[in-house]
Every structure is written in C-alpha cells, then in structure tokens.
C-alpha cells in the first residue's frame, strides 16, 4: 500500500553547481524509480539554523512522493552514505 511522504535533504554548500545538480538528480531519480514522485521543490542555498560540520549554509531540496514503507529505509541509507548530503529527514504525511 502506498503512503504519502515528504523528504527534505540538504546538499553541501561548497559543491560546484554541476556536482550539486548531479546529487539532486541522483535522489530525484532514486525516488522516481521506487515511488510515485509528486513534487520537487528546490529551495536553493539557505542559511542553516545551526552549523553542521562547520557549514553555515546548505542547498535545500523538498520532495513529496508516495511509496511503499520498505523504500524509506533504502532512501535513508542512501542519504547516510552520500558524503554530499549534510542532513536529511523523511516524514510520513499520513501519521
């Protein structure tokens, strides 16, 4: 059964535009491949609420999608092993 989710991930601010776009595209394609992608909203470079790994800014991306619950663990694993992602969260919108 598909459930509605929302994820926000923050890409390292010191990446050049090409590498940043490649990272965003990687996760967009991962979600498209395993879920129903509803909306991608790139908020762009913003100041972080608090420094993360000495970074004061990050490139924010918000994605809404529908997926099986099993996919969420795989998505979170990919966030953790990608060095260019400094923070991420996945939220079940139905809970």
Q: What is the pLDDT of residue 95?
A: 73
> Beta strand 3-12 with 55-67: parallel, antiparallel or unpaired?
antiparallel
Residue ranges making up the domain that contains 86: 3-92
DSSP H or E segment with residue 40: strand 36-52
Q: How many domains does the chain divide into?
A: 1
pLDDT, mean of each 10-residue run, the chain (95 residues): 96 94 97 96 96 94 97 97 96 89
What pLDDT, on the 0 to 100 scale, is given for residue 94?
85
Q: What is the pLDDT of residue 42?
A: 96
The CATH number of residue 35's host domain is 3.30.70.60
Contact between residue 23 and residue 11 where contact means Cβ atoms under 8 Å apart: yes
pTM of the model: 0.94
The whole-number pLDDT of residue 88 equals: 97
- Write down the pLDDT at residue 21: 96
């Amino acid at each position: 059964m598909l459930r509605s989710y929302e994820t926000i991930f923050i890409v390292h601010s010191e990446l050049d535009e090409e590498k940043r776009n490649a990272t965003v595209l990687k996760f967009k394609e991962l979600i498209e491949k395993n879920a129903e992608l509803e909306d991608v909203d790139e908020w762009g470079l913003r100041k972080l609420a608090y420094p993360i790994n000495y970074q004061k800014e990050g490139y924010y991306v918000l994605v809404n999608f529908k997926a099986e619950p099993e996919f969420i663990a795989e998505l979170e694993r990919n966030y953790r092993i990608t060095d260019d992602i400094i923070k991420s969260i996945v939220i079940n919108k139905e809970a």
